Structure 1
Amino acid sequence: MAGCAGAPTPERSAVPAVSPSTAAPSRPGWTVGASPLPLRPDGYGEVRRTPAELRDRRLPTRDLLRPPVDGRFHATVARIDERTRRRMGESWSPRCPVGISDLRLLTMGFVGFDGRAHTGRMVVNASVAGDVVSVFRTLFQARFPIEEMRLVTTADLRAAPTGDGNNTAAFVCRTTRAQTTWSAHAYGLAIDLDPFQNPYHRGDLVLRELASAYLDRSWHRPGMVLAGDVVTRAFARVGWAWGGDFRSVRDDMHFSETGR
């Protein structure tokens, strides 16, 4: 399916439907994005202690797309049409290192922290579309929880940091952190998975800025990516590297086809 063109290619899986009986208790006592943080000199938000409500974060998913009616995994791969291009906003522009024709829109199922099946979207490079669908099919089968999966928009790029975002996403045209080279995300060749449960950490910088409680990887909580688990194995099978193995920085959310 990688690099497919034309109409969306539907996929069905033999994965059993998600049972409503597996639903986790809802924890609605937090409003994501409500409180902007003071800025550091480097432009990131001020790193703060994790609020009690988020130390074991299991927020329910807010559906932007219709959930699968049968509770099973489904996926489609499509070219980026004009409607999708407009929704992407400033996350892509002609100055990006990859053309819009070389990207694909994935619409696929995931299991939320509420234990229910949901439908999300992400944009990836056409060359890896099939591999990415394969990985997320495996995560769905394993019931690995994902809070949110939606397109990165202009509003996201312009928003002040609040330190509590948790969108699982792939393509966004930006440079590597603290550098001037294009990141693997700018090519659609990297994915950040549950970034709050799997924060980026280098020196005194933690991203997301309220996620410091998740630097303790010995306290295993839902959504955490751990060495040798179903997530790292699924990405390794398609040849992707994990940021948890990086030497100069800890980036547990990050998986990439390029190894960076």
Structure 2
Amino acid sequence: MRGAPGVGARGRGPHRAGVALAAVLCLLLPGCGTGAGSSGPATAAVSPRSTAGPSEPVAGPPVPSPATSVATREPSVPAGSGPSSTVGGATPPSPGAPTGGATNGPGASPSRPVAGAGPGGGTTATPAPDWLGTRALAPPGGGPVAPQETPPELRDRRIVTVDRLPPPSDGQFHASVEQVPDDVLARSTWQPACPVGVEDLRYVRVAFWGFDGRPHTGELLLHADAVDAVVGAFRAMHAERFPLEEVRVVRADELDAAPTGDGNVTSAFVCRPVTGGSGWSQHAYGRALDVNPFHNPYERGTGGDRVVIPELATSYTDRSRDLPGMVVPGSVVERAFADAAWGWGGDYRSSKDWMHFSATGG
């Protein structure tokens, strides 16, 4: 989450329900903006608002040349060297409007509960509550929001995934990598002032399992040199049916959304500076991923100084619960990124950022 994207499209911009708190939180949190990364550019000519919450260490090394292959069980596939590269089987369908399921928010289509055959552990997945993403905890830019009690409907959150891209038809793992299409770029947070050029980003579509026990297709923007690690992690998650609620590209308008404290978007690239600083977050390079932010919140401090983002995810700060969607030591997500030499926010000392993985560890 450190300067991340996905606290959830409905919970403070995309990824965190802490977007509106960004600059203020960093002032309140000792050590904010420090970590494993090296200093980024001296200034960041974009809004300092974050979709994920507290700041992350200043981002790292200069942007290298694009990666040349995608991790796969088969021989290497060029990462976006042509119009599209495919991993793991048939080419995933092109982006499109939702094709099924219930939308997670206002205007959701009615949908009957779906038995979670795999990822749900046998428990029923349900459509998103009608109020999800609509109840602002504070106005945009209104300052820090205290941690809130988790609503009963979200204490064991297993929401049916809406299919914004056509799902895989065979239940197998698929991934495709290509240069970023113009329409995807237009709805993303990228702009010319970002620290990574469009030519170094890749549009990646990956198969994943939802809490509804069904296969789905998600989308990410990643730096070319992060593709292997992230696709490899998604492959491992798919093999063990680790459930994800929503995997998509963060939109620019989400960066300034009022905090609702209930977002849960798994996402990667978000062009934003480190909260409260002038360097760039690892998400601004496409070298970080936040996984199920609501199930894996950010937490720091105690008592009146306690910060939790998303703010309604307080029940998930009890990591002994080990519910579906939670990233815990030894879980498939933690192992996969450890194998790729990526760092995990769950290992931080002064705070915990259970959703956050990055190439630099910051």
The alignment's TM-score, normalised by the length of structure 1, stands at 0.91
Q: Contact 1:173 / 1:187 at 8 angstroms: preserved in 2?
A: yes
Q: Deviations over 1:8-30 (max 9, x none)?
A: 111116xxxxx984465122251
Q: Which amino acid aligns with 1:84?
A: V
Map of 1:244 onto structure 2: 346
Q: Relative to 1, partners in 2 of residues 1:215 and 1:39: Cα closer, same or farther, differing over 3 Å?
A: farther
Q: Which amino acid aligns with 2:165?
A: L
Map of 1:11 onto structure 2: 87
Q: Contact 2:163 / 2:217 at 8 angstroms: preserved in 1?
A: yes
Q: Which of the residues 179, 184, 191 maps onto 1:93? A: 191
Q: Structure 2: how far apart are the matches of 1:29 and 1:119?
A: 19
Map of 1:111 onto structure 2: 209
Q: Which amino acid aligns with 1:254?
A: H
Q: Structure 2: how far apart are the matches of 1:227 and 1:160?
A: 32
Q: Structure 1: how far apart are the matches of 2:218 and 2:240?
A: 17
Q: Contact 1:36 / 1:162 at 8 angstroms: preserved in 2?
A: yes
Q: Which of the residues 175, 200, 204 maps onto 2:273? A: 175
Q: Structure 2: how far apart are the matches of 1:195 and 1:29?
A: 16
Q: Which amino acid aligns with 1:30?
A: P
Matches within 5 A, 1:2-151: 2=70, 3-12=79-88, 21-22=117-118, 24-28=123-127, 30-31=129-130, 32-38=132-138, 43-88=143-188, 91-151=189-249
Deviation at 1:178, TM superposition (A): 3.9
- Of residues 107-116 and 32-41 in structure 1, the stretch that sits farther from structure 2 once superposed is 32-41
Q: Contact 1:44 / 1:161 at 8 angstroms: preserved in 2?
A: no
Q: Which amino acid aligns with 1:10?
A: T
Greater relative contact order, per chain length (Cα 8 Å cut-off, separation 6+): 2
Deviation at 1:41, TM superposition (A): 7.6
What secondary structure is seen at the aligned counterpart in 2 of 1:10?
A: strand
Q: Contact 1:37 / 1:46 at 8 angstroms: preserved in 2?
A: no
Q: Which amino acid aligns with 2:298?
A: Y
Map of 1:213 onto structure 2: 315
Q: Structure 2: how far apart are the matches of 1:155 and 1:79?
A: 23
Deviation at 1:46, TM superposition (A): 4.1
Q: Deviations over 1:158-187 (max 9, x none)?
A: 321111000000000112234332111010
CA RMSD of aligned residues (A): 2.0
Q: Structure 1: how far apart are the matches of 2:202 and 2:128?
A: 35
Q: Relative to 1, partners in 2 of residues 1:79 and 1:43: Cα closer, same or farther, differing over 3 Å?
A: farther
Q: Contact 2:175 / 2:205 at 8 angstroms: preserved in 1?
A: yes
Map of 1:157 onto structure 2: 255
What secondary structure is seen at the aligned counterpart in 1 of 2:178?
A: strand
Q: Which amino acid aligns with 1:144?
A: F
Q: Structure 1: how far apart are the matches of 2:163 and 2:128?
A: 18
What secondary structure is seen at the aligned counterpart in 2 of 1:119?
A: strand
Q: Relative to 1, partners in 2 of residues 1:39 and 1:138: Cα closer, same or farther, differing over 3 Å?
A: same
Q: Is there any run of 5+ residues in structure 2 with no aligned partner, and where? A: 1-68, 71-78, 90-114
Q: Is there any run of 5+ residues in structure 1 with no aligned partner, and where? A: 14-18
